[in-house]
A and B are shown apart, each in its own frame.
Chain A
Amino acid sequence: QSVLTQPPSVSEAPRQRVTISCSGSSSNIGNNAVNWYQQLPGKAPKLLIYYDDLLPSGVSDRFSGSKSGTSASLAISGLQSEDEADYYCAAWDDSLNGQVFGGGTKLTVL
C-alpha cells in the first residue's frame, strides 16, 4: 500500500483531457513539492512535472500539474496514443524521512 494514493487506471479518448489525482497527507504533499513521472512500457521513468507545476525543458505543454492542500493532480490535454503509459506522483515525506511514490496510474487512450 503506497503512502500516496492514485487511481490504478484512467482512460479517455484521443484529443480529450484527463486528470490523474494523487492524495497524500500533511507530512508529504501538504508540506513538500510534488513531482510527476511518466513511464512508457519497458522504459525508465521520465520527469514530467516538478515542484508541483513546473515543466522541465522539452516536456510538452499538454501536461500540467497543480496542488491544493494534501492533494495534487496531473492533467493531460489533447490526448495522443503515445501518452499511454504509467504515471507516478512523488513527494518527500517528513515523517518517514524519505521519498514516497504513488502506486501509479495506467493511462489508456481509447
Chain B
Amino acid sequence: EVQLVESGGGLVQPGGSLRLSCAASGFTFSSYWMHWVRQAPGKGLVWVSRINSDGSSTSYADSVKGRFTISRDNAKNTLYLQMNSLRAEDTAVYYCARDLVCDYWGQGTLVTVSS
C-alpha cells in the first residue's frame, strides 16, 4: 500500500525556518517524481515545488523561489522541503504527492507562520 506521511510542521515566527519531511513507503520511491502542494486555510490548492526521481532537477513556484528548497534522500525514502524566510502568507497545510500526476497524497502537515 502506498503511504506518504508528512511531518515537521508547526508554529514558526516570520523570518524563521522549518524543514518538512515526507516519508514514503509501499512503492519504489527512487523511481518517482515528487511534489509539494500547499493549501492555506479555507483556500484552494497551490503547487509549491517538484523534484525528479534522482533529485537532479527541481522546479519552484515563483512565490517560494529562493526561499524554499526541495530535496530527497532515496536511501531513506524521504522527501524534504526546507523553508527559509517564512512569511505569514506561507501559512498552510503542506502536502507531498507522488508522480507527475500526483496520484497519491499524504495527509498533510500544518505550517503556521505567526508572531
Q: Which A residues have a C-beta under 8 Å from some C-beta of B?
A: 2, 33, 35, 37, 39, 44-47, 50-51, 56, 86, 88, 90, 96-104
Q: Chain A nearest CB: distance from B58 CB in Å?
A: 11
Contact A101 B47 (CB under 8 A): yes
- Tally inter-chain residue pairs, CB-CB below 8 A: 54
Cβ contacts under 8 Å, A97 to chain B: 59
Contact A88–B44 (Cβ < 8 Å): yes
Interface residues on B, range: 20 to 34
Closest to B45 in A: A101
Q: How far is the CB of A32 from chain B (nearest CB, A)?
A: 10
Question: What residues on B are CB-neighbors of A47 within 8 Å?
Answer: 101-104
Of the A-B pairs whose beta carbons lie under 8 Å apart in the complex, a sample of 13, sorted by A's number, is: A37-B102, A39-B45, A45-B95, A45-B105, A46-B105, A86-B44, A88-B44, A90-B45, A98-B62, A100-B47, A101-B37, A101-B44, A102-B44
Contact B47 A35 (CB under 8 A): no
Q: Which 4 interchain pairs have the tightest Cβ spacing?
A: A99-B47, A104-B44, A50-B101, A44-B105
Collect the chain B residues with CB atoms within 8 Å of residue A35's CB. Answer: 101-102
